[in-house]
C-alpha cells in the first residue's frame, strides 16, 4: 500500500477541490448563472448546455460549466493547445485523474488531516475576505478633502530641504588636521573603511569617533554643527569627495568626506494625489478588515487560557530554523487565492492544471 505520507499532496489537493466545490454550491443558490463563454460573438450558452455532464466519477459529476471554467483559467498559451475534441479529452482526463486522487485521499482519511483542514480554512478565509472587501471599498471612495487633509498634516513628507551626510576627522591642532587631510585625500581615505581608520587614528571628538566620524544627515540651515563645517559640506560635489582642514568657530579643525546626499523634495498636492489616494485606500481597507474581525471576535465566545502557554515547547534546533515566510509574531503566511483556490495540485506538473 502507498504510504500515507506520500499522499499528503493529494490530500491538500482534495482540500482545495472541496473548497472550490463549496464555493460552487453557494453560487448555485444565488440564482441563474451568466454564460461562461468568452468567445467574441459566440451564441450564449443555455443553462442546460452548461449543466450537461461530461464525466462521472463515483457519483461526482464534471459538467460543461466546470470543464469550461477550469480550462479558461489557464494561460492563453495553454488554452490554445486544447481546441480540438481530442485535446479536450486530454484535459478532461486531467480532471478525472484529479477527482480520482481526491476521492482516494478522502477514503484514506486525509480530509481529517490537520494540514488539510488548515489549508481548507486558509482558502475559506481568503475567499471570505475577498467576498467582503474586494468590491466593498474602492480607491474612488477616498474623498479629495481627506487626501488634502493628509497632505497638509504631513507637509514634512512632501517638502524636504536638501541634506548631506559627511564623516569627519576632528582635530584640536591644525598640524594634526593637515596630516589627516593628506592621508584622507590619498589612497587610504578613498574607501569608507580607510577613512574610518583615519578617524580612529586622528580624531579627538569622542562622540563622532565612536560612529566612525559619521555626522549623520543635516540641512544647510543646521545649527548643530559649526557654520563653517555645514557650508563646506554643502560645497562637496559628490559622494566620496574630501575637503579640509576647515577651521571652525569652536576652535576645532575638520576634515570632511561626503558619504550621502539627498535632493530637496517639494511636491504639490496634485503631484502626489494618486499616491495619497492609494495610501488612504489601503488604510481604509485595513481598518475595515480590522473592524470586521473585531466584530466577529466580539460576537464569538472566546476563552483564553494563557497559563497553558508555558507548556508550549519551541523547537530551536538548527534543522527547524529555516525561514518559511512566517515573521515573528505574524500570522502564518497565506498563499494568494489563485494559488490555492484556483490552481489545485497535480502529481504531473507538466500538464495543464485542472
Residues 280, 295 within the same domain: yes
Determine the length of the chain: 354
Q: At which of 263, 296, 323 does a domain end? A: 263
State in Å, rounded, how far the first CA of the chain is from the last one. 26
Residues 108, 22 within the same domain: yes
Residues 206, 286 within the same domain: no
Q: What's the distance, CA 334 to chain centroid?
A: 11
CA distance 228 to 168: 13
Q: Report the pLDDT value the prediction gives residue 253, as an integer from 0 to 100.
A: 94
Q: Report the pLDDT value the prediction gives residue 41, as an integer from 0 to 100.
A: 54
Residues 81, 220 within the same domain: no
Residue 10 within a domain? yes
User: In sequence order, what are the residues at sequence separation of 6 or more whose Cβ sits closer than 8 angstroms to the Cβ of residue 188?
Assistant: 194, 195, 197, 198
Residues 231, 210 within the same domain: yes
Residue 80 within a domain? yes
Residues 222, 288 within the same domain: no
Q: Are 94 and 344 in contact (CB under 8 A)?
A: no
Residue 271 within a domain? yes
Residues 56, 80 within the same domain: yes
Using DSSP bridges, classify how beta strands 253-262 and 163-171 pair: parallel, antiparallel or unpaired.
antiparallel
Number of domains in the chain: 3
Residue 251 within a domain? yes
Query: For residue 28, how many other CB atoms are within 10 A of its CB?
Result: 10
Q: Measure Cα distances from 147 to 137, 193, 282, 287, 341 in Å.
A: 16, 45, 13, 17, 36
SS3 category, 12? helix
Residues 116, 5 within the same domain: yes
| Global pTM value | 0.52
Q: Which residue segment(s) compose the domain that 146 sits in?
A: 135-155+267-310+336-345
For the chain, 354 residues long, give each residue's pLDDT as a single digit of tens. Answer: 444 444 444 444 444 444 444 444 444 444 444 444 445 556 788 888 888 887 888 888 888 888 888 888 888 888 888 888 888 888 888 888 888 888 899 899 998 999 989 999 999 998 888 888 877 778 888 888 999 999 998 988 899 999 999 999 999 999 899 999 998 998 877 888 889 989 998 899 888 888 989 999 999 999 899 999 999 999 999 999 999 899 999 999 999 999 999 999 989 998 899 999 989 988 988 898 899 899 998 898 888 888 887 888 888 776 555 544 444 333 433 333 333 333 333 333 345 555
Residues 221, 243 within the same domain: yes
Residue 257 within a domain? yes
Residues 173, 114 within the same domain: no
Q: Report the pLDDT value the prediction gives residue 39, as an integer from 0 to 100.
A: 54
Amino acid at each position: 500500500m502507498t504510504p500515507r505520507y506520500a499522499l499528503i499532496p493529494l490530500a491538500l489537493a482534495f482540500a482545495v477541490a472541496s473548497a472550490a466545490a463549496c464555493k460552487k454550491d453557494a453560487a448555485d443558490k444565488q440564482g441563474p448563472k451568466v454564460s461562461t463563454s468568452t468567445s467574441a460573438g459566440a451564441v450564449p450558452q443555455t443553462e442546460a448546455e452548461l449543466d450537461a455532464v461530461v464525466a462521472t466519477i463515483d457519483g461526482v459529476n464534471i459538467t460543461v460549466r466546470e470543464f469550461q471554467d477550469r480550462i479558461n483559467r489557464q494561460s492563453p498559451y495553454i488554452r490554445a493547445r486544447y481546441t480540438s475534441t481530442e485535446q479536450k479529452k486530454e484535459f478532461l482526463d486531467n480532471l478525472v485523474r484529479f477527482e480520482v486522487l481526491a476521492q482516494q485521499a478522502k477514503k484514506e482519511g486525509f480530509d481529517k488531516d490537520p494540514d488539510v483542514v488548515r489549508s481548507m480554512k486558509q482558502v475559506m478565509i481568503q475567499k471570505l475576505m475577498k467576498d467582503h472587501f474586494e468590491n466593498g471599498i474602492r480607491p474612488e471612495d477616498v474623498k479629495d478633502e481627506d487626501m488634502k487633509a493628509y497632505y497638509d498634516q504631513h507637509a514634512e513628507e512632501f517638502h524636504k530641504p536638501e541634506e548631506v551626510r559627511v564623516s569627519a576627522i576632528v582635530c584640536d591642532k591644525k598640524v594634526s588636521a593637515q596630516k589627516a587631510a593628506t592621508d584622507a585625500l590619498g589612497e587610504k581615505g578613498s574607501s569608507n573603511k580607510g577613512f574610518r581608520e583615519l578617524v580612529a587614528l586622528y580624531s579627538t571628538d569622542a562622540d563622532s569617533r565612536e560612529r566612525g566620524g559619521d555626522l549623520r544627515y543635516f540641512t544647510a540651515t543646521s545649527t548643530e554643527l559649526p557654520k563653517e563645517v555645514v557650508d563646506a559640506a554643502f560645497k562637496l560635489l559628490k559622494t566620496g569627495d574630501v575637503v579640509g582642514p576647515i577651521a571652525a568657530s569652536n576652535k576645532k579643525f575638520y576634515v570632511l568626506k561626503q558619504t550621502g546626499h539627498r535632493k530637496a523634495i517639494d511636491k504639490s498636492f496634485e503631484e502626489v494625489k494618486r499616491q495619497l489616494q492609494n495610501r488612504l485606500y489601503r488604510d481604509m481597507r485595513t481598518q475595515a478588515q480590522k473592524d470586521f474581525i473585531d466584530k466577529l471576535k466580539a460576537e464569538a465566545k472566546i476563552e483564553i487560557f494563557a497559563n497553558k502557554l508555558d507548556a508550549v515547547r519551541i523547537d530551536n534546533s538548527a534543522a527547524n530554523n529555516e525561514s518559511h515566510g512566517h515573521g515573528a509574531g505574524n500570522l502564518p503566511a497565506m498563499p494568494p487565492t489563485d494559488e490555492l483556490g484556483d490552481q489545485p495540485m497535480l502529481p504531473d506538473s507538466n500538464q495543464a492544471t485542472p
